[in-house]
Structure 1
């Protein structure tokens, strides 16, 4: 057996300590599969005194993560610090510049700086691996980069945030309000004290941008992702969706339309006969549609110590085997920026929810605005009172241009009948 792969680990939170536990528990098996041992030769974190539930006395400790990049006896740096910039990015740059491979679970850093880091890694014939950055323990990165490499991916989409999926499925199962379920999610650790990155769709957008670059061979474009989250969804929306034969899921959706890149994170109404409609709780799932493979679906735990640490160590095993390869399946130097697709040109059905004054003529006002925008209405339902003096109206359009739906809603923007901004969600179809 050849010399061990010597790693330095920056960040000793849940996932960082999980990596150490996994290597200690499965070290012999890992060595057999990798062809050589993987050993932790250095660690770094902010607080030495914190009890992490694991004995770290045997590992050399460095107070500054950047010091790890300069160590002569390290082959690979593993970053578990987080954040798109700052210390994590500086460590990545210095590690690759000093000839060390790099493994990270940091989806924000890859989404914002992945092209720069990929070019540095490939120039130095180094590995840059990030399996744990997207969908936790699900091997979706490897599946798309390697397993589906002979295919042209037509579209990639899925449930990319476990917090949002937990909240939506709890609302669905128990008819509870968003705020109540979110509070429970925070108490059991599924949501952060400040859940904005999750529930506003930013976390899912980071992951979607990475999947799009990997699937289509185009330069990463996080800024081009249209983002909407779930904080505006009511239990009544979920009830209406169910009555129509749909379930609401926050989806990330990416595809190439006429040579242009479309990327969106948005709550969708998913048909009950679609596999994503049955992904419950904090589970993640990614669907990729290849021109020869057909539909591929990757499903599993999207976060947590064990699944995420498993993905990190799987990357380390690849590196130990000598698998450098390309970072995004296509060489970074060949990944050109792609013009952004205009979502207003997309055609499909939309679900629109209004909260309006409980008075005569409101329905006529809404339908007239949609008629004038050339939006045909498939169904329209007035439900229970939303508050004193107001009612909730839900409609589903026939296939319409999204721009026309927006024009119809813009015509209603000054109406005194509307008590809140309308909520729009799209219905998932094969044309999305």
Structure 2
């Protein structure tokens, strides 16, 4: 029936050949359905006295049925089984491949992590003997040959979304935000004045801007979740993917969040310098730059809360939920990892409208997308994005002058090398450490 509770974790639940580490606890330690231990551990080698085929006999049982699932490492393979014990998979080339990959693998080529956060999803980090790309959703991915792999999960992957469908969702988000601002401006006209004056007031009101993005992007996300080319295959009786997991709102290691904040703070300077470099080649809109700077300059605590809420909380959250939470996994399923990453970053850049913001948004989008794929969670992306947005908000020129970042003048300013080079070093170090952080705690 499996090993539950403390004994399961003490035994290690480690599979595969070669050196490894003791597995980490992923579930809650409670039994699921009264029959098996919740969650599984992953690693390699002989930690905890459990290895290969023996591991699977000692407790990788899940759900409300008696069936054993998966296959042992170290050269032993086993038929894959559903959570209710019925066979579903086919073996082949070191693992089970195709739309329902529930099976085992040979030679330690398949690594499994189950029961994350008390949920039912299983996530495989190897598929068909090839390393799968991380971050493609609960229990699914693509192997090195681009073959879709469902790694022992009863939870469906999100439907693929082609690039023009994703572009339509992004356009809908922008149009929805504009529509909310239009309604707000029309409401202000009732107090008197022209539409142009009312629209200007809305554009200078962080509460109106935050509400517009919240509603506009929220509608686009809801519509985008319904798009796709059909429902992916699911195990019989398996639950639908919850919206939180669908959008990547999954737990992330605390160390990853701290490093993401550090990287975001440091990245503001090189990203600003990318925009400054683009301004060397394209005309500047000084009026717009001054308007943005005036919007960020707060005169009271209430205004400060409104600005922080709009630009440090709402904007990063909604943009990450749309571009990295919703669109990126679907684009990856439709076009593969490299193309999906580039297309999602390009769409993120295009909604920023002007050449300089588009340039640094493209660079930021690539970093944020890689972070989403690394941890399968959008939370580190939100943390990095919020930290980047926070710098010009929380560091006004009256507190610290950062030419090229928070200072607007008729002369084009660049970030001084004395600031830029250390910022690049800190951001690079933080991102390098992020790549080494385990994706579970």
Higher relative contact order (CA 8 A, sep 6+): 1
TM-score strictly above 0.5: no
TM-score by length of 2: 0.28
Looking at secondary structure, tell me which structure has more helix per residue.
2
TM-score by length of 1: 0.29
